[in-house]
Structure 1
Amino acid sequence: MITADLHRMTGAYALHALPDDEREAFERHLADCEPCAQETAELTATAVRLGLAVSAAPRREMRQEVLQRITGVRQDAPGGPAPARSGRTVLRARLLSRWALAACLAGAAALGGTAVWQHQRAEDASNQARRAEQRTDEIAAVLAAPDARARAASLGGGATGSVVVSRSQDRAVFVVSKMAHPADGKVYQLWFNDGGAMRSAGLMDPGRSDQTVLLRGAVDGASGVGVTVEPAGGSKQPTTTPVALLNFPT
Structure 2
Amino acid sequence: MNADIHGLSGAYAVDALDDVERAEFESHLAQCPECRAEVESLRAAAVQLTRVTATTAPDSLRASVLDQIKTVRPLPPLTPPADTGDTTEGHRPVAGVVTLESRRWRSPVTWLVAAAAAAVLAIGGLVWSPWSSDQPQQPPTATEQVIRAKDAQRYEKVIDGARATIVRSPSLGKAVIIADNMPAAPDGKDFQVWFQNPDGEMVSAGLMPHEARPSVSMVLDGDASKYTGVGITLEPAGGSPAPTSEPIALFEFS
Whether TM-score is above 0.5 comes out as no
TM-score normalized by the length of structure 2:
0.43
Say which structure is richer in helix: 1
* Greater C-alpha Rg: 2
